[in-house]
Structure 1
Amino acid sequence: MTARMRELFERYKDLIERAENLAKPYFEGVERTAEYNQAKVIEAFQAQRVSDFHLNSSTGYGYNDLGREVLDQIYADVFGAEAALVRPHFASGTHAIGTALFGVLRPGDHLLYITGTPYDTLHKVIGQEGDGTGSMRDLGISYSEVALREDGSVDWDAVRQAVTPQTKVIGIQRSRGYSWRRSFSIADIAEMVNQIRAIRQDLIIFVDNCYGEFAEIYEPTEVGVDLMAGSLIKNPGGGLAHTGGYIVGKKRYVDLAAYRLTVPGLGGEVGAMLGATALMYQGLFMAPHTVGQALKGSILTSAVFQELSYVTSPTVDEPRTDIIQAIRFHDAEELIAFVQGIQRASAIDSHVVPVPSDMPGYEHQVIMAAGTFIQGGSLELSADAPIREPYIAYVQGGLTYAHAKLGVLTALDHLVQSGRIDPAKI
């Protein structure tokens, strides 16, 4: 260990020991979940008799790409779904989500989100009527949302009133996004499914599963969700997939999404993988372990800042259903200093100082610590925050627990050195 790093660990030794002692009882549950999910992934590989030739790529149209077809089936098996569409052609999680929704919605249909306002980047996808961008509203698809209750639960009376004869899709965002609410567990989503089915059997239930994959031993599609999407540069890519996303669910809905990704008549039967196949397989193999490392890092981060009397969500002892750790700061300057400290702990671009700036798809300026090997890869240690009240930083990822630990130490030190935390209080 270098002199600088050794000094850092020594300077905050007592705090880290207190925080790790607080966190350790909860690490065991994370490790058991990772073991279960690792076995589930390996069994899916074995059931599809994966061989090295499946890792080969394709070019041109990508016809008869057996590796791509088997990867789809493995995702379907792992997520307890009928079908899957796993492609490097998805530019982001938002792209995968939009593709799934556009696939099943038609002009005159109504989309209802029951978990409050969705993540910022989806706002332009929903759009405004006549905006000319090809948004849902522009295409005649209506949208509404139901705010969560003060305790973070779904307001079912309001949901029942909001459902109309035109309502076709019920949207659920599993993760908190840029909001101070808990993320929804699989048990929560199972209850949502039951409540929605009691309202109307034919409603399509869609889940944005970003940040939640492998955080628990079940996935939303295993408890009755019809359609689900996420990003491969988050959890299921295992830190190895260079780009891409996935859609899983009932076959008829996945097929419709495939027609949206390419064109009707071709769907998922085309699309060259262009060298991405092997890393998608290997990333999925690694994902249960890597998600476990990130979860342990988020628990430690919560413990450190709870010890310093900050408000965190989840708290150390709360169950984890995604990899995001939120910390509430007192003002914008303190928030910015924390995010800059996370960047300093990166292997990539540690010398870069992030500052708030405008970002495509976001309504407020955002500061992002993203010293990652994969651009925007938020299974890697990263942090971001909109510059708005309340001043909340959202930390996620950490391919190794050791890096997450170093990240929280470096961020803490940056807060101390910039005068935002009194070292006498540590």
Structure 2
Amino acid sequence: MIESKTTEWERQWEQWSAAAEEQAAEQFRRVDRTVERNQWKVIEAFQKHKVSDFHFAGSTGYGYNDRGREVLDLVYADVFGAEAAIVRPHLVSGTHTISAALFGCLRPGDELLFVTGRPYDTLHKVIGKPGDGTGSLADWGIRSVEVALLPDGSVDWDGVAAAASESTKVFAIQRSRGYDWRPSFTVAQIGEMAARLKAIRPEAIVFVDNCYGEFTEDREPTEAGADLIAGSLIKNPGGGLAASGGYIAGRKDLVELAAYRMTAPGIGGEVGAMLGTTRSIYQGFFLAPLIVGQAVKGSIFASAVFENLGFQTHPRWDDPRTDLIQAIRFPAAEPLIYFVQSIQKAAAVDSHVVPEPWDMPGYEHPVIMAAGTFIQGGSLELSADAPIREPYIAYMQGGLTYAHVKFAVRQALQEFHNRGYL
């Protein structure tokens, strides 16, 4: 009897899977073309700067004249169409990297204006409150303003124009959706934003939080008018190999200011021992276009399967992709929790761990997170998280291989089948 049920389930899964892959075939081909263009761009940058095995040698102490580190910066700058870049394992997270970029550009009395609404939760402590004593932006007399997006997820340009002032030094754009049920912003849209923002205040800096977006399209925001971008190496550009780090790219003068904040004025990016990380950062960057493509295909597949089964997904399976994140809406908290737990159960690492919702610092509601990863917090690897609140939305991202994402979707649907949701 049990075997009969299992056989029937397998037959049903194969039908769902085949239908999703057939309908998404053209989207998969588009992803493959983007992978090719980005892969060629990376290879050409490696060749231009004559990357050799001696560039992978580690450095110690001050790291003076670390040619591997210096060429790595040049490679990143070329691939991202920027004047300069710094790529360092010493940047411990995306939040740290964004913080270094913002503190580098802003001074007491300046204003930071977020044009894409409230930024992701982890930046709230960086923004801070006046007199909080933490060394936040507000503690240093830097004012932050947020202009909420319109109901359709587009920028409120009247609101931005009204909020901008003579003190506005940086316009900030968050490319990815965060915990919002809205489209992420494409590079073309970011280019249009940059042009309109420059019309409002020509001297202001356009900064983009590029996390989750690298290599999902064949251009980056710095190729479309952004002055400065930042991201994490344990997300897209690390290719699943970089064990830590971040990058900042853009105008040379702004990258230098960010480097001064990262280390110290007068030191900047001229020092910093790479401590044996250089090869994995180079190789991860080489692999990143392919691995990102695998993750994007996985998101498209997940969206198609769940949408065909009656769930709401965002983006939908045939929508343009500009980041790794796939949102899926559930009818109640229970299936949401089972979905996230299934993603953990499908991992190669820590599959035996059962995540539960908990009151994470900085979040207003309990949050459940699944992340069975080789690199702790590596968001290019398959993970999922969700605040336990209405509407009940899970945010799945990453996947080093398409087959892993497919396996996880199967695991989730089998859990739903066993519990009577399907």
Is TM-score (shorter-chain normalized) higher than 0.5?
yes
Deviation of 1:21 (Å): 1.4
Tell whether the 8 Å contact from 1:303 to 1:315 is kept in structure 2 after alignment. Answer: yes
Matches within 5 A, 1:141-160: 141-160=142-161
Does residue 320 of structure 1 match 2:317?
no
Q: Please list every run of 5 or more consecutive structure 2 residues that lacks an aligned counterpart in the other structure.
A: none
Distance 2:338 2:411 in 1: 11
Alignment correspondent of 2:79:
78
Alignment correspondent of 2:373:
372
Deviation of 1:363 (Å): 3.6
Distance 1:189 1:36 in 2: 20
Deviation of 1:127 (Å): 1.0
Deviation >6 Å, runs of 4+: none
One-letter amino acid of the structure 1 residue matched with residue 126 of structure 2: V
Alignment correspondent of 2:103:
102
Distance 2:132 2:384 in 1: 32
Alignment correspondent of 2:405:
404
Does residue 385 of structure 1 match 2:386?
yes
Alignment correspondent of 2:241:
240
Distance 1:146 1:153 in 2: 11
**What are the Cα deviations for residues 229-248 of structure 1, in whole angstroms up to 9, with x where unaligned?**
00000000000000111000
Distance 1:363 1:132 in 2: 23
Distance 1:41 1:399 in 2: 19
Alignment correspondent of 1:190:
191
Tell whether the 8 Å contact from 1:339 to 1:368 is kept in structure 2 after alignment. Answer: yes
Matches within 5 A, 1:21-420: 21-419=22-420
Deviation of 1:356 (Å): 1.1
Q: 1:10/1:346 Cα in 2 relative to 1: closer, same or farther (>3 Å)?
A: farther
**What are the Cα deviations for residues 114-134 of structure 1, in whole angstroms up to 9, with x where unaligned?**
001111111111111111111
Aligned residues: 417
Distance 1:51 1:285 in 2: 13
Q: TM-score, normalised by structure 2?
A: 0.97
Deviates more, 1:136-145 or 1:383-392: 383-392
Distance 1:113 1:195 in 2: 14
Distance 1:341 1:33 in 2: 30
Tell whether the 8 Å contact from 1:122 to 1:361 is kept in structure 2 after alignment. Answer: no
Distance 2:242 2:211 in 1: 15
Deviation of 1:13 (Å): 1.1
**What are the Cα deviations for residues 123-160 of structure 1, in whole angstroms up to 9, with x where unaligned?**
11111111111111111110111111111111111100
Deviation of 1:361 (Å): 4.1
Report percent identity of matched pairs. 66
One-letter amino acid of the structure 2 residue matched with residue 171 of structure 1: A
**What are the Cα deviations for residues 37-92 of structure 1, in whole angstroms up to 9, with x where unaligned?**
00000000000000000011111111111000000000000000011010001111
Distance 1:362 1:379 in 2: 22
Tell whether the 8 Å contact from 1:241 to 1:276 is kept in structure 2 after alignment. Answer: yes
Aligned-partner SS, 2:140: coil
Q: Please list every run of 5 or more consecutive structure 1 residues that lacks an aligned counterpart in the other structure.
A: none
Deviation of 1:360 (Å): 4.2
Distance 2:102 2:366 in 1: 27
Aligned-partner SS, 2:390: coil
Distance 2:412 2:355 in 1: 13
Distance 2:47 2:58 in 1: 20
Tell whether the 8 Å contact from 1:83 to 1:254 is kept in structure 2 after alignment. Answer: yes
